[in-house]
Structure 1
Amino acid sequence: MINSLWIAKSGMSAQQTQLDVVSHNLANVSTTGYKRASAVFQDLAYQNLRQVGASSSEQSQLPTGLHLGLGVNVVSTSRDFRQGTPQASGKDFDIAINGSGFFQIDMPDGTIAYTRDGTFNPDSTGQLVNAGGHPLSGGITVPPSTAKMSVSDQGLVEFFDKAGAKLGGSNLTLATFVNPGGLEPIGQNLFRESVASGNPQTGAPDANGMGKTMQGFLESSNVNVVEELVTMIQTQRAYEMNSKAIQTSDQMLAKLGQL
């Protein structure tokens, strides 16, 4: 059997996965706090037909070997956690992180999820929740007579009435990870801690390496449309070349059958 059939097939499957990743990036180009993903490829096992360094005679060794590869495989999707551009929203409850860190979100199952999406609003009880209705960890509640909310660079949240009198305050805390790329995405702009990410390190914004909080801003996606379109074209060309390899292998087998 001609190995090129399987090898080209693995190449087509890998490029299809690459296109899936690129399509997902483009679909989320306007998603607040979205982090671009990319497919990571790895070559498959080799057929070792001649061992490099093997003896060719009593006094000489082979300078090279004969190793035939068996294709490619997608081993992971790597996520780019570089910061997106802060965009002014003009809303008091919108908060962006300028630097490292994640907002902590209390989930219904009692676990904590992490996000860069700072789209918050008070629910019916005044508690600040994200777009999915999940509250900020720590339970920041907006007093009923609040006319204005203020958030400092250091995460100090204060509430004022129409007369400017202070109604109360609270403090935001952020979380960082040794390996943010190891966080598990669970949808709704949320990530979950994993063994690979390490334990979260929490603290106040603008301290111990944490980013500053920016009120009235939202972090845009870090997807570069031009780069994704270039990657899409490269993926299409690679897919076409692998399909051409299958056609050529098929023609060679057909020619062999005519002998």
Structure 2
Amino acid sequence: MQLGFFISGGAGQMMQNRLDSISNNLANASTVGYMEDRTAFSSMFSSKMGREGIPDNTSAAHLSMNTQYTSIEPGSIRSTGGEFDFAIHGKAFFRVQMQNGTEALTRAGNFQIDAEGNLKTQNGHPVLDNNGSAIQLPRGEVSATKNGTIFVNGDPVTELGLSMLVDPRKIQKSEGVLIHTPKENVAPADNSVSVHHHSLEESNVNSVLTMTEMIATTREYESMMKTLENYNQQASLLNDRVGLVQG
């Protein structure tokens, strides 16, 4: 009985966590550079689920607690015509500076420029060049090449800082479109990466598939809750009947 409570209750909690993740993905389906959160499950097998002292050779399985990870698969690139819009083709990220001086990575290239000419993200974080310095642009017409070099009025000014991940599993998301990772997990972008000016990368969330996943997960969650309710009813009946003297 206790085992049934544990398995159904744990599975229900995992389904709830998965629903929260799916809901957040759907809410950010139109967010530039958003990378969807995914949930992984694994099965645990046991051959010791019989009564104590009675061998049980039949293996039983149940889901272990879920883990979440961020998918870095690229989204589609669309042309915007925006002067400070950039998109990356390839598995690289823009380098940005956080308030505490550390670096973060992002695929969201919908940058803006302040009164002093500083290139910043939508949340106000400075965009860094390939040397790790904040990018500051003079006034003028901005253009860029595929290697990330930015020109102003036809003159080269700076080069966008682009980095790749050594191990995509060692990342942590923050502020929706930023990710953090240890310095040793970051490497310079290689020749497979190119920059598209006047373009932005869409979210990598597939709305249709995600909606389908939400419906299926909701049904699984409801099923687990019904199972848990049945175990609860059985436990109540057991408590009422144990020790009852039949006259």
Aligned position for 2:162:
174
Q: What are the residue-to-residue correspondences of 1:48-63 with 2, within 5 Å?
A: 48-49=48-49
1:193 to 160, 181, 189: 181
Aligned counterpart in structure 1 of residue 143 of structure 2, from 143, 146, 150: 150
State the distance in 2 between where 1:71 and 1:99 align.
35
Separation in structure 2 between the aligned mates of residue 5 and residue 183 of structure 1, nearest angstrom: 34
Q: Which runs of 5+ in 1 are unaligned?
A: 51-61, 161-165
Give, in whole Å, the separation in 1 of the partners of 2:170 and 2:207.
25
**Is the aligned partner of 1:120 residue 2:120?**
no
Give the Å deviation of 1:45: 7.0
Following TM superposition, by how much is the alpha carbon of 1:254 offset from its aligned partner in structure 2, in angstroms? 4.6
Residue 4 to residue 135, structure 1, CA distance change in 2 (3 Å) = same
Quote the Cα distance in structure 1 between the aligned partners of 2:103 and 2:45: 40
The secondary structure found in structure 2 opposite 1:7 is helix
User: Given residue 86 of structure 1, which amino acid in structure 2 is its aligned partner?
Assistant: I
1:250 aligns with 2:236: no
Gap change, CA 1:140 and 1:251, over 3 Å in 2: closer
Deviation at 1:39, TM superposition (A): 1.0
Give 1:188 deviation, angstroms: 4.6
d(CA) in 2 for partners of 1:188, 1:244: 34
Aligned to 1:58: none
Q: In structure 2, what residue type is equivalent to 1:193?
A: T
Aligned length: 233
Q: Paired residue for 1:53? A: none
User: Structure 2 residue aligned with 1:239, among 200, 217, 221?
Assistant: 221
Q: Deviations over 1:69-100 (max 9, x none)?
A: 565311x2122211101121111110000111
TM-score (norm. length: structure 1): 0.81
| Structure 1 residue 102 displacement after superposition | 0.3
- Letter of the aligned partner of 1:12 in structure 2? G
List alignment gaps of at least 5 residues for structure 2.
none
Judging changes above 3 Å, is the alpha-carbon distance between structure 1 residues 154 and 167 closer, same or farther for their aligned structure 2 residues?
closer
